[in-house]
Structure 1
């Protein structure tokens, strides 16, 4: 299944993955790990998925310079000029701003899919259909289109998008409001209202409109018309990025597009989705064993244990008795045993403490 040659994808693969510590480490974060033991890493699975929609040469990877070798090793089929390695960590909006300019160096007018590298998609065929319909919408409309999923639980770790007026096209609505990671009580209200969708982090648009959205926020490298005579090669562009990227605002794509752009829409999608960025999110998304435990590619003996998520290194055995509602995660020199509910804040705290007391080798 392929679509038109002017449709492109940017996979964002520069995150440090700290919320899945200690299995995801700063030197080897989650997108480069075969987390579930399926034979392909999260990045590779995301790339594989989009090759069913687009030609391989239309897929770009955005990452950090420190992960450039990992990307090259895991995706040797991606050309060097299709990998953008940032010289300094910034948030996702600057990453996409650069990627849009890079794509426009190949094709001035294109449609773009922006995708995280660590999502769990249940029904690929429905996903392909939704993406195809979304690309058609943004080709014919100056718009930002995000792919939304009806919430199945009151998850405080996700962003929520409120639908507004119906466009008359597919299942696409004007975005009324966006709330990032609400308190659990509010998340329950959003779920009960049937008006709010989970933000998947998948965005579609056309390059012309994205340029106008980014133009007021970042250096005008993304404005092809202005810099066309000065930046005409990938080498010139990378030199500009090396010198100017630290000046880019540290802004998320959600804050930049969902909160600041005017023509923002959401498509209600049914492909089944989970953000694989947190232990709690993984626990809620995967099928449970006896006692409602989730065992992630690990060797475990359980007794009187329930509601836990467990992830161990190969060759390790865990015997667990009496635990209820915990994360048990082990990698190399770190073992984490932590209450599962809303654990992200605790893990950030532990990482900071460990980094100060024990040094970089433990984070």
Structure 2
């Protein structure tokens, strides 16, 4: 397929609440250098995809609050390609919005949709699999997703079941399952025909429009009211967004459609959704502590993740398997295996300190 027919949409609207207190509503994790690489998560996502897609064909969809920081961090992307949503409506609405914008520019486009905040260690494999996906989606009416080869029975990910076919590079999808309980996740792993759902999708403009017309016709109608890439686009979008259904692309379309295909990929992938996933993907000292700063003394301390924002001296004695995160406004100290409770802490804090912005 032609290089100029390949497009990318980077979804960067989330607030990363499981990653609090580093990720806040004002400055969420996709705009931070979580792993200390010198590039933020959204910049790393751009760096990867720009190897196969020209900058003028790369779009970012985010919350209108983050348009400024997106421009700042991605000056290579044309200003009009960074789009702010007036309300958070989950992933179906933003996918249709961007498909409409791209269709107006190029009705032959095939697009990949990527989350802004994922870690992918095997970039070459990722780009090879994407090339295969682009070819499949441009030549067939397929909705294609990359499925991650699971390495453990993780309850934090969704799963994709595929129909087994010998020696194939891609498979027809049988079922999507939201985050399962541990026993079910283990049975998925044992069966060998399940992959993790990474939220990476590839489709031709015509195929995704047909899917929206079939499965989310009301949403399609709402979005037809606007002229795309025109002066009045934003005011129109602000009018229709309150009326649009809040639903994910997975629930709204992919779970129902009969033309979904998955490409299994072993990418060294993590969604870096929790402090534990960051701990697993960072270098450790001799006591297995993951530390982001030099001004630290530890005694009888092992297996901790210690993340402090300024250069204050930190001394830790006797902590094992803990998360310690210090920011300007918040100090968090909790066991590493409680990282799924961080969302609850945030809710309780909101009630505790009404009107103050800790989140």
Fold shared per TM-score above 0.5: yes
The answer for the alignment partner of 1:354 in structure 2 is 349
The alignment covers a number of residue pairs equal to 356
CA distance in 1, matches of 2:5, 2:281: 34
CA RMSD of aligned residues (A): 2.2
Alignment of 1:90-239 (within 5 A): 90-166=89-165, 170-215=168-213, 216-217=215-216, 218-220=218-220, 231=227, 233-239=229-235
Q: CA deviation at 1:222?
A: 8.1
CA distances 1:39-88 after superposition (whole Å, capped 9, x unpaired): 22111111111110100101000011111111111112222321110111
The answer for the alignment partner of 1:257 in structure 2 is 253
The answer for the alignment partner of 1:41 in structure 2 is 40
Q: CA deviation at 1:348?
A: 1.2
CA contact (8 A) 1:298 1:314 kept: no
CA distances 1:132-162 after superposition (whole Å, capped 9, x unpaired): 1111011111111111111112221111111
CA distance in 1, matches of 2:228, 2:275: 44
CA distances 1:178-210 after superposition (whole Å, capped 9, x unpaired): 112112222222222222111111111111111
The answer for the alignment partner of 1:84 in structure 2 is 83
2:298 is equivalent to residue 302 of structure 1:
yes
Once structures 1 and 2 are overlaid, which stretch shifts more, 51-60 or 31-40? Answer: 31-40
CA distance in 2, matches of 1:109, 1:222: 23
Q: CA deviation at 1:253?
A: 2.2
CA distances 1:249-276 after superposition (whole Å, capped 9, x unpaired): 1111222233122211111112221111
1:51–1:167 Cα change, 3 Å: farther
1:309–1:192 Cα change, 3 Å: farther
The answer for the alignment partner of 1:323 in structure 2 is 319
CA distance in 2, matches of 1:146, 1:40: 26
CA distance in 2, matches of 1:299, 1:234: 52
2:11 is equivalent to residue 16 of structure 1:
no
TM-score for both structures, normalised by structure 2: 0.92
CA distance in 1, matches of 2:278, 2:35: 11
1:261–1:167 Cα change, 3 Å: farther
Q: CA deviation at 1:308?
A: 2.4
Partner SS, residue 334 of structure 2: strand
Q: CA deviation at 1:232?
A: 5.4
1:275–1:342 Cα change, 3 Å: farther
Once structures 1 and 2 are overlaid, which stretch shifts more, 180-189 or 301-310? Answer: 301-310
CA distance in 1, matches of 2:239, 2:195: 39
Q: CA deviation at 1:296?
A: 4.1
CA distance in 1, matches of 2:285, 2:250: 35
CA distance in 2, matches of 1:3, 1:31: 30
Partner SS, residue 256 of structure 2: coil
TM-score for both structures, normalised by structure 1: 0.91
CA distance in 2, matches of 1:87, 1:167: 46
CA distance in 2, matches of 1:35, 1:207: 34
